Amino acid sequence: MPDYRSYSIPSEHIGRTRVLTSGCRHATTSAQAEAGILALNAARILLTPSPAADRPPLLLDHGGAGGADTAVWQAAADRTPGWEAVCHPAQWSTHVFELPDFAPGSPEQTVNLCPARHRGLDKCAMAGHRRNAAMIALGPRLLLAMPTVSKTRAKKIGRSRGTWGCVDAAVRAGIPTLIVWSPDGGVNTAFRLFWSDEKTDQMIAEHWALRHLYGIEQSESAATAAEPSRSISLAEAAVDVPF
C-alpha cells in the first residue's frame, strides 16, 4: 500500500506516558472545554504515583476530528501545563487491502483489512476504527472519553458512536477508562468522571489523592445505561490536594 501511512512512534516519544482522548464532534461548548481542562488535571493526578513524584510532560493522543478532539482536547492541552498533544488523523481516503510490511513493534501490526466491497469507494468507513485501534495499540495509561449522548442513545441517533466504540475497545484492551459526562453538557449539572470497568475502579479506589473522593461520593448515571457505573466529581478530582 504505497499511500498508507502507519501511526509510528517517533523516537522522542518512546517511553513517554500517553493519555488517549476521544470525544464526540458535537462537544463544542465552552462548558465542555472547561471540563476538558479539569479532566486533564484529574488525569495527571491519577497518573502521579505519589505526592512527591516527578511530573514529566505527558503525551495527549487525539484523533484530530472536529468537536471534542480539537476544540476541547487540543485547547485543554494548550491551556494546561505539562501536556504535549499528538494528532492522529484518520486516513479516510485510503483503503487497506493488503497488510503493509510493518516494522516489528509497530502499533498497527493488527490493522484490519478493508472488505472487497470497499474497492472503488472514495471514503473508507473503517478509517476511524483503524486509527482508534492504532492509538490504543500505542499503550496509553488512560482513556478520557467525552461523548455527548448516552451509549444507548448513541446507537439510536448515530451520535458519539465513535467515542463509545473507543471506550469499548479500550476496556477490552485493559486500559483504564474515564467518561467525562454531564447529562446536559454542563448547563445545569456539573460534569463527573464515570467508569464501569474493574481496572479503573481499582485504580481510583487505591489512589493516594482520589480514594477519599471514591469513599464519600459515588452516583449512578444514565451515561453508560445498561452497565453499572460509578463516578466522582470532576471538579473535586482535579484538585491537587497537598499532603
Task: Give contact residues for Zn ion (rule: CB under 5 A).
Answer: 95, 114, 118, 124
Query: Measured from the CB atom, is 118 or 153 closer to Zn ion?
Result: 118
| 110 Cβ neighbours under 8 A, 6+ residues apart | 133, 137
Helix axis angle for 127-137 and 161-172, nearest 10°, is 30
Q: How far is the CB of 118 from Zn ion (least distance, A)?
A: 4
- The minimum distance between CB 136 and Zn ion, in angstroms, equals 19
Q: In this complex, which beta carbon is closest to Zn ion, that of residue 111 or of residue 179?
A: 111
Backbone region of residue 53 per phi and psi (left: phi > 0; alpha: psi in -120 to 50; beta: other values): beta
Contacts of 96 (CB under 8 A, 6+ apart): 1, 4, 111, 112, 113, 114, 124, 130
Cell numbers that stand for 184 in this block: 446536559
Minimum CB distance to Zn ion, residue 223 (Å): 31
Which of 94, 218 has the CB closer to Zn ion? Answer: 94
Q: Which residues contact 200 (CB under 8 A, 6 or more apart)?
A: 176, 177, 178
C-beta of 159: minimal distance to Zn ion in Å?
23
Closest CB to Zn ion among residues 130, 230: 130
